[in-house]
Amino acid sequence: MLGWVLAFLGSLWIIVLAWQRNILWGLVCFLMPIVQFVYVAAHWKESKEGFFIQIAGLVLMLLAALTGVPGS
């Protein structure tokens, strides 16, 4: 559960940053989440915190799935 929340919040953080930069960036990041990685690569200094939070959540979800934690 914590992994999902972290991944969601990291993704939301990146979408908000993209939206603040340009409405088109925000819209594309919202509709096509894979574009968030392109945005992060293009604007690393401002978006690295959200990216690391998102990755931490994904790692927690992966660990929960591999260890068989109930509710994962």
What is the pLDDT at residue 5?
95
Residue 25: count other Cβ atoms within 10 Å of its Cβ: 21
Q: Do residues 39 and 29 lie in contact, with contact meaning Cβ atoms separated by under 8 Å?
A: yes
Q: What is the pLDDT of residues 50-69, one digit of tens each?
A: 999 999 999 999 998 898 87
Model pTM? 0.85
Domain boundaries, the chain: 2-66
Task: Bin 68: left if φ > 0, else alpha if -120 < ψ < 50, else beta.
Answer: left
